[in-house]
Amino acid sequence: MEMTGCGTAIVTPFRADGSVDEPALWALVNWQIESGIDFLVVCGSTGEAATLDEEEWLHTIRLVIDAAAGRVPVWAGCTHNSTRVLCRQAAALKRVPGVAAILSANPYYNKPTQEGQFQHFLALAREVDPLPVCVYNVPGRTAANLEPETVARLAAAAKNIEAIKEASGKLTQFADLSHQLPRGFKIFSGDDNLALAAIAVGAHGLISVASNEAPAEVARMIRAALENRWDEARELERRFARLFEANFWESNPAPVKTVLSLMGRCGDTVRLPLVPPTASTRAKLERLAGELGLLKNTPIPAGVRSEVY
């Protein structure tokens, strides 16, 4: 896998009736690419994949691939806590033209051992070979940490396991990954606020939430860090650090969708069990977005309504 840089874990816009807002998603993809993002990740956690049925999931992935039209790689999220179901879904995904890689998170709820996670991801890799796989370590959502030693075992056991999105929040884990993995194996931060530190110890980029709202700036921050222009990278990080935090004031992606709605990019509808941010959080998000200049060139829709489905 040659990919480095900044990828956006893109939201899935919904209409007020809860259906996927295809025109809004198409427009978001174009804006992301025109803003200089390096790749897109569709149907991840930020894309509310857990609330999409299988038909919607495949359709959304196809739509993003069509909208991207080969301009940037598109990675597809495919996660399940049943290895058998995961492999069935991944087999369907393998037949979708244009998928550049599969991103798959730890099995959630089951709390598997390291051996269980090893066998789970190895089964996925064998199912989709030769399609590249990026394993996604996000213990805050799954209650299971994927240890660097296990990632190294996976890299040795399956040549198409080529990357990790690391979102443990532990800088030492980035360092361990960098030390233990082959040089061609790619490490991506899954946390915007740790991206520069992660790159400093050997990571190759970021799969970002905040680049939904500020794609040009976050992509520039990552590119600057990778090119050792640290003064520029740190200045951008200082500017957007509050946004990195604000996106998690309430459960992701509700705050992100609120900011995007204020920017006129898409509605802020989320699907249950997620709910829109409280009025006080929404007010703080609007104030912050204004201070960061995110609202400067975009209309704020009158009477925006938040719905859940």
pLDDT given for residue 2 in this prediction? 75
Which segments of 22-171 are extended strands (E)? Answer: 39-42, 74-77, 99-105, 133-137, 161-166
Please say if 136 is a catalytic residue: yes
Please say if 165 is a catalytic residue: yes
pLDDT given for residue 300 in this prediction? 37
pLDDT given for residue 1 in this prediction? 65
pLDDT given for residue 305 in this prediction? 37
pLDDT given for residue 3 in this prediction? 83
Q: Domain residues of the chain, as ranges?
A: 5-227
Q: Are strands 161-166 and 133-137 parallel, antiparallel or unpaired?
A: parallel
Please identify which of the residues 94, 108, 136, 309 carries the catalytic annotation: 136
Please identify which of the residues 165, 186, 257, 284 carries the catalytic annotation: 165
Alpha-carbon span 190 to 130, nearest angstrom: 24
46 and 64 Cβ atoms separated by less than 8 Å? no
Exposure of 99 by Cβ count < 10 A (0-12 exposed, 13-18 middle, 19+ buried)? Answer: buried
Ranges of residues in the chain whose predicted pLDDT is under 70 = 1, 297-309
pLDDT given for residue 78 in this prediction? 98
pLDDT given for residue 303 in this prediction? 35
pLDDT given for residue 297 in this prediction? 55
Q: What is the pTM of this model?
A: 0.94
Alpha-carbon span 116 to 86, nearest angstrom: 14
pLDDT given for residue 79 in this prediction? 97
pLDDT given for residue 130 in this prediction? 96
Q: What CATH number does the domain located at 5-227 have?
A: 3.20.20.70
